[in-house]
Homo-oligomer: A and B are copies of this chain.
């Protein structure tokens, strides 16, 4: 591959700069069956930072029973203390999780809400309202400690039980998370069914409801191969924060459990071609994902990682 590819050609109506919210170490690894040692996780995060990622969701303080892979959160965080200048948010499920995170000096957290009753019940064993009520004191206490809270909202486009999710339903939960104090909302297409018109409609609906685009991130899944065209559509609408997972971690196409996270490298190829700056070095990131795939003992599901790795081997 020659160095001038992808050719840089800007397109009208797109932002100059995009911030990638890297979710691989948390959202990616939590779905992996292979147990990853804490030292490997720390090295992974250091490598991601060295590749230029400035926001890396590090782990989750959820109860180990639910996510055994991330049971080492309290051991991991001190291993990242040298990463100054890198935002390292962690997921917290409740007040207890927040307490543990705050004790370790965490300065950004995230909560995980659902736009649909079915998924709230399946994932949180609560109604949507009950889940929001559980998050209210978490967000308030975090805000009191000067800690920013990102609100993940899952099932923003479709739900495996309920089908297409009505826009007003999503908008209402977003508004409540904003009112409760979330500084950023990540709109999740958890089952990967969104298409560009739907993306535009939801973003427009949120604007009309008073949620500014600057407070929004998009989190698309590649289950049906739609993540990148949906992301492009969101960028056209003014979104500048995009969630992605290094190497497509958590989105293994070989496993039945595929969740299909957008691969950071596939996103980066597009952004680089569009001349949109991210500060991330594609070569270093690809090498990191290839290394992590080796740790997990299987090829990366990212098409870009596979293509670039083949060229180098």
Contacts and interface: CB of A to CB of B under 8 A. Distances in A.
A contacts with B: majority SS: loop
Contacts of A256: 310
Contact of A193 (B3, B6, B11, B260): B6
A311 to B, nearest CB: 9
B303 A195 contact: no
A196 to B, nearest CB: 5
A9 B5 CA distance: 34
Given A195-B269, A196-B11, A226 B225 contact: no
Interface residues of A, number: 55
A160 interface: yes
Contacts of A5: 158, 163-164, 193
A263 B201 CA distance: 26
A275 to B, nearest CB: 7
Contacts of A2: 158, 160-164
Interface string A1-20: 11111111111000000000
Contact of A228 (B3, B200, B226, B306): B226
A274 interface: yes
Interface of A: 1-11, 157-158, 160-164, 192-198, 200-201, 222-226, 228-229, 231-233, 253, 256, 258, 260, 263, 266, 269-270, 272-275, 302-304, 306-307, 310
